[in-house]
């Protein structure tokens, strides 16, 4: 329990999280000779353990921080196993890997992949160890889930991967039959006291699998051993099972809580349960708490289990439940094909020029928009009470969400999807700085809670009581595109409004170390910029307006990737007929590569409409594509491109759409079309 003792490999250049993930991925891919079509990974730590050491030494060379970002773990796994499809990173605290499995499941169901490597990983680090200690959530005697005398969790590390496929082979171990996501929309760190979000996630998973509570033979509880978590989950279980619940236990008394990896680890164990007829005990629970009204297993059993319900819950009320069954035990329910296009009913952005109106006015006047607003400017339209303890990134995210929601005039959003390349840098920096300055005696609990990547999206959910899916993706320069792809997969059939946000903050100390594009920028060298964009979307059949849909996501290493992109867009002729503007995103760190890709695209497609290299306008930050998307919406609503941006090309967009193209290490495409 706690630290992984097994030797992880000889490559000391990689952070511990990466090494753990490599080991688990190698085991999952053992015996498979074909590469996965996608890799979807849940994690919260990335390379932070290495970063902590580097910052303590005062290291200022950016190349030493190349593996800090969460996305670097997923991309390393994809590279090693020859995956040229999406490498998507989910960060929803302790439900990260279970949410990643849900997205992988939907990708397979939609026919967008045949094989997906999905799972999670987290390593021990000072941020999480001292963070949970600062919240007084760590039991000094070790985690005792469901025990009357429990006092908290045990912080651990680990990795687990599953190779999921729709192929019928002789080596199938188990089936992921269904999955459900929800958000408490209650508190940044504490669960809903009645377990309402947990109940909704379990109910959604059962509905997704076409099962009833009576079909479940075992529940793999989240069961961290904290007073509030165990009680909330117990109330949710008792509400779902209005009869005596099936056999149940938490594994965290034996394994500790591996945070973002916990959901995938539970899923792997669930697969072993249904394939080997074993039921694990609730280790270290000596006196079950009578207030929970649950009877955990005290000794392991050998008996068949028809279906496992596996729970994973995280900070911000991010909940995920999985249903895992023996192969062929149940029939998968029929699902209607989902429409690809979302209708945009509201939009907003923040740049150095200000909000959407000020940004678009500056663009029309050929004025700069790159920069960073003050905290007062960012939160000018937000209630002071709502932001008094929030630092830069959550304020940006809340301001974007509020403006997009107000612009939509719609009911509160059901679900929230957010992309951020680097997460809450201010909270992370301040937590580690205080930890060093106080010689690890007085870490800040407030900064720890705010440092999680999904914190801003959870704040949005709390503001709007958004109890549906709440997903945060962190894919570097493609984080916003990953959020859009996740929404398209996870909320495909929802007619209720949802919010998509892409936002990053500029931090004077950390941003230049983490984001190589800042030092490579030609137009704004070493300038600190930030901001983002937000969309309010719906699939309500009555909605009319500009539509948006993800069209392509592949590694630049894929052979003939530009030709594959053109095929996904129905070929050069359709491309020229459908689009009157190309918004090209070329991160400065790979500008030479991106410009070559763009040149090949125009040569193969014959595209001769205006092309805007939008990062030269927005400046360099990971989710600049979110601002570009809002630019496209504004241009389409007005039917014209500002002459200063159209150059010598045609400025009218009548009857045309806008193509948002991401270039560099990955090639992405998003269709944005007028009604």
Mean pLDDT across 411-424: 97
C-alpha distance across the termini of the chain, in Å: 56
Residue 526: the pLDDT is 63
Closest CA to 228 of 135, 308, 103: 135
Report the C-alpha gap between 394 and 403 in whole angstroms. Answer: 14
Residue 543: the pLDDT is 87
pLDDT band at 7 (very low <50, low <70, confident <90, very high): low
- Beta-bridge mates of residue 250: 221
349 catalytic? Reply is: no
Which residues are CB-contacts of 484 (< 8 A; sequence separation ≥ 6)?
417, 419, 500, 548, 550, 670
Beta carbons of 451 and 127 less than 8 angstroms apart: yes
Residue of 68, 81, 257, 507 with catalytic role? 257
Closest CA to 536 of 407, 378, 634, 632: 407
Residue of 192, 222, 453, 507 with catalytic role? 222
536 catalytic? Reply is: no
Helices (H) and strands (E) in the chain, counts: 25, 21
Instruction: Provide the b/e sequence for 360-369 (b: ≥16 CB within 10 Å).
Output: bebbbeeeeb
Beta carbons of 236 and 182 less than 8 angstroms apart: no
Report the C-alpha gap between 459 and 38 in whole angstroms. Answer: 30
* Each residue's pLDDT tens digit, 17-66: 999 999 999 999 998 999 999 999 999 999 999 999 999 999 999 999 99
Q: Which position has the token pair 């964009």?
A: 533
Residue 68, class by beta-carbon neighbours within 10 Å (0-12 exposed, 13-18 middle, 19+ buried)?
buried
Report the C-alpha gap between 311 and 229 in whole angstroms. Answer: 12
* Each residue's pLDDT tens digit, 540-574: 888 889 999 999 999 999 999 999 999 999 999 99
Beta carbons of 72 and 92 less than 8 angstroms apart: no
Residue 336: the pLDDT is 75
pLDDT band at 308 (very low <50, low <70, confident <90, very high): very high
18 catalytic? Reply is: no
Report the C-alpha gap between 116 and 40 in whole angstroms. Answer: 7
Return the DSSP state at 309: E
Q: Which residue has the higher pLDDT, 306 or 1?
A: 306
Domains annotated for the chain, with CATH where assigned, are 16-325 (3.40.47.10), 342-673 (3.40.47.10)
Residue 228: the pLDDT is 97
Mean pLDDT across 615-644: 96
Residue 509 has pLDDT above 70, yes or no: yes
* Each residue's pLDDT tens digit, 178-237: 999 999 999 999 999 999 999 999 999 999 999 999 999 999 999 999 999 999 999 999
Mean pLDDT across 135-140: 96
Residue 616 has pLDDT above 80, yes or no: yes
Residue 377, number of CB atoms within 10 A of its CB: 14
Share of the chain above pLDDT 90, in %: 91
Residue of 18, 68, 81, 94 with catalytic role? 94
* Each residue's pLDDT tens digit, 446-484: 999 999 999 999 999 999 999 999 999 999 999 999 999
CA 660 to chain centre: 21
Residue 213: the pLDDT is 98
Residue 519: the pLDDT is 79
Residue 160: the pLDDT is 98
Report the C-alpha gap between 198 and 436 in whole angstroms. Answer: 37
Q: Which position has the token pair 């590569």?
A: 593
Instruction: Return the half-sphere exposure (C-beta side, CA atoms, 13 A cut-off) of residue 568.
Output: 21
DSSP E strand stretches across 330-399? 342-350
β-pair type (175-183, 547-555): unpaired
Closest CA to 182 of 350, 312, 347, 80: 312
Report the C-alpha gap between 79 and 97 in whole angstroms. Answer: 20
Mean pLDDT for the chain? 95
């Amino acid at each position: 329990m706690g630290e992984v003792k097994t030797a992880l490999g000889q490559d000391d250049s990689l952070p511990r999280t990466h090494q753990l993930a490599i080991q688990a991925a190698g085991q999952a891919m053992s015996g498979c000779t074909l590469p996965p079509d996608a890799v979807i990974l849940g994690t919260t730590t990335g390379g932070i353990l290495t970063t902590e050491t580097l910052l303590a030494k005062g290291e200022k060379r950016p190349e030493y921080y190349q593996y800090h970002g969460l996305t670097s773990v997923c991309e390393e796994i994809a590279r090693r196993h020859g995956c040229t499809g999406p490498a998507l990173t989910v960060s929803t605290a302790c439900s990260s890997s279970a949410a990643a499995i849900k997205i992988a499941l939907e990708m397979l169901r939609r026919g967008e992949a045949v094989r997906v490597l999905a799972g999670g990983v987290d390593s021990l680090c000072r941020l999480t160890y001292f963070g949970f200690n600062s919240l007084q959530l760590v039991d000094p005697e070790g985690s005792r889930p469901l025990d009357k005398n429990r006092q908290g969790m045990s912080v651990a590390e680990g990795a687990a991967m599953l190779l999921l496929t729709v192929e019928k082979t002789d080596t199938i171990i188990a089936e992921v039959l269904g999955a459900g996501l929800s958000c408490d929309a209650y508190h940044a760190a504490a669960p809903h006291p009645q377990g309402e979000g947990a109940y909704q996630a379990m109910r959604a998973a059962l509905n997704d699998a076409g099962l009833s509570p009576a079909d479940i033979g075992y529940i793999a509880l989240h069961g961290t051993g904290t007073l509030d978590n165990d009680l909330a989950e117990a109330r949710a279980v008792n509400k779902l099972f209005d009869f005596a619940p099936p056999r149940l236990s938490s594994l965290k008394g034996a394994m500790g809580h591996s945070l973002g990896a916990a959901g995938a680890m539970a899923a792997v164990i669930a697969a072993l349960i249904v394939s080997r007829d074993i039921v694990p005990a609730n280790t270290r629970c000596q006196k079950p708490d009578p207030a929970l009204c649950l009877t955990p297993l005290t000794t392991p059993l050998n008996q068949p289990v028809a279906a496992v319900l596996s729970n994973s819950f995280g900070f911000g009320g991010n909940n995920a439940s999985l249903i895992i069954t023996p192969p062929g035990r149940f029939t998968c329910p029929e699902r209607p094909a989902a429409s690809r296009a979302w209708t945009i009913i509201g939009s907003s952005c923040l740049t150095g020029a200000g909000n959407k109106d000020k940004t678009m006015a500056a663009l029309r006047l050929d004025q700069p928009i790159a920069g960073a607003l003050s905290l007062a400017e960012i939160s000018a339209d937000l209630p002071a009470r709502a932001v008094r303890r929030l630092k830069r990134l959550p304020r940006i995210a809340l301001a974007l969400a509020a403006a997009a929601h107000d612009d939509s005039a719609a009911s509160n959003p059901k679900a929230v999807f957010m992309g951020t390349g680097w997460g809450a840098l201010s909270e992370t920096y301040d937590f580690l700085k205080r930890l060093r300055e106080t010689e690890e005696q007085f870490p800040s609990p407030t900064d720890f809670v705010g440092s999680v990547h999904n914190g801003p999206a959870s704040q949005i959910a709390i503001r709007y009581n958004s109890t549906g899916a709440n997903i945060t993706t962190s894919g570097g320069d493609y984080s916003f595109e990953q959020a859009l792809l996740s929404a398209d997969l996870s909320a495909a059939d929802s007619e209720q409004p949802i919010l998509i946000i892409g936002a990053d903050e500029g931090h004077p100390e950390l941003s230049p170390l983490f984001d190589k594009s800042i030092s490579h920028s030609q137009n704004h060298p070493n300038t600190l910029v930030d901001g983002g964009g937000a969309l309010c979307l719906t699939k309500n059949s009555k909605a009319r307006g500009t539509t948006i849909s993800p069209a392509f996501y592949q590694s630049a290493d894929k052979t003939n990737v530009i030709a594959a992109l053109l095929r996904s867009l129905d070929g050069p002729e359709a491309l020229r007929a459908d689009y009157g503007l190309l918004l090209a995103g070329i991160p400065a760190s790979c500008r030479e590569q991106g410009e070559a890709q763009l040149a090949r695209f125009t040569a193969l497609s014959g595209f001769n409409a205006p092309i805007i290299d939008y990062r030269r306008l927005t400046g360099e930050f990971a989710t600049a594509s979110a601002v570009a998307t809002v630019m496209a919406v504004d241009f389409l609503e007005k039917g014209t491109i500002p002459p200063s941006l159209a150059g010598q090309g045609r400025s009218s967009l009548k009857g045309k759409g806008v193509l948002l193209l991401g270039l560099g290490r990955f090639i992405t495409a998003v269709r944005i079309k007028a009604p």
